[in-house]
Amino acid sequence: MGKVRLIPYTVEEVVETPTETVPAGVAMIDAPSIWDKSDRGRGVVVAVIDTGCQIDHPDLKDRIIDGRNFTDDYNGKADRYEDNNGHGTHVCGTIAANQNESGIIGVAPEARLLVLKALSQDGSGETDWIVEAIQYAVDWRGPDGEKVQVISMSLGGPDDDDALHLAIQNAVKNDILVVCAAGNEGDGRTDTPEASYPGDYNEVIEVGAVDFNRRLAPFSNSNDNVDVVAPGVNVVSTFIGGRYARLSGTSMATPHVSGALALLANLTSSEFGRKLTEPELYAQLVRRTVGLGYDKAGEGNGLVSLGWVDKIEAIVKLLTPSVPTETGVSAVK
């Protein structure tokens, strides 16, 4: 039986109230620019496999649709998925904290959270717990028939595990996007690869971290499977005790991407008139990235920037000449 742990992270500061409503990370990936077009992620369920969540946190209590405990915490009671570490609550807030005129706003503030506690209070967990949580997310159905569309995992370990890999492959086959942290064993160089699982599996969306100056975080793992990067340094989000905290790590970058996919699931469903498949949604995410000038091993396709496509299309429209129609009304070529 293998072991998986929280990817080491740094608690920079714990505060009673945050200093901002829209966190800098949410703004940096340009989430607010597509909130209206994506209905703020309404109806999309994101499964968060982590240390649980503070279910009565003011910014999260209305976002949780269901949950389950797979650990030995709380005497192994399946219905006790309260966060006793802090990490899971922070991740949940970045994904979907309420827009409620106080606290912070998550990337997809109308998305719903399926809280799957598969890591104990000390941040460790059995691989079997993670596998069970992934399968639970695949099989789960909500009160109105909802299904999980995104699984978010800010965890990892050094060992390639066949059962874990198969569980992830099964989730992807069921059109669930699996988003994983790249890991924090980086040495500040992109030519020396570091691997952490499940992030290093090709089937997942592996997320590296950058700071608010768009510099690659020195701790962020680099390897050929990094897909995108997102804010992961001094990220403010919800924390246990009804508080807020600034944390650093690829664990903090990952939920930015999970929330972004919740927005894109709705936006693209409206644009295409149907629900997109897992590979199609991944392509839509990659379409909304901006290169930062680092090697692909460090930044993958680049920084997630959700408003990028709309901005380019607006510029093209301005630069495209119009031609007269037969009725005398101008039309764009």
Among 30, 50, 59, 73, the active-site one is 50
The answer to whether 251 is a known catalytic residue is yes
List Cβ neighbours of 31 (8 Å cut-off, separation of 6 or more). 107, 108, 259, 260, 263, 306
Q: Are 310 and 284 in contact (CB under 8 A)?
A: no
Q: Are 156 and 180 in contact (CB under 8 A)?
A: yes
The answer to whether 330 is a known catalytic residue is no
State phi, psi for 119 to the nearest 5 degrees. -125, 140
Angle separating helix axes 162-173 and 127-139, nearest 10 degrees: 10
Among 57, 87, 90, 256, the active-site one is 87
Rounded to whole angstroms, the Cα distance separating 165 from 146 reads 25
Rounded to whole angstroms, the Cα distance separating 8 from 44 reads 29
Q: Which residues lie across from 155 on neighbouring strands?
A: 6
The answer to whether 36 is a known catalytic residue is no
Q: Which H or E run includes 309?
A: helix 308-319
Angle separating helix axes 87-96 and 250-272, nearest 10 degrees: 30
**How many C-alpha atoms does 27 have within 13 Å on its Cβ side?**
11
Among 251, 256, 258, 305, the active-site one is 251
Residue with tokens 């709309």: 310
Q: Are 179 and 153 in contact (CB under 8 A)?
A: yes
10 Å Cβ neighbour count for 295?
13
Rounded to whole angstroms, the Cα distance separating 33 from 74 reads 41
Active site residues: 50, 87, 251
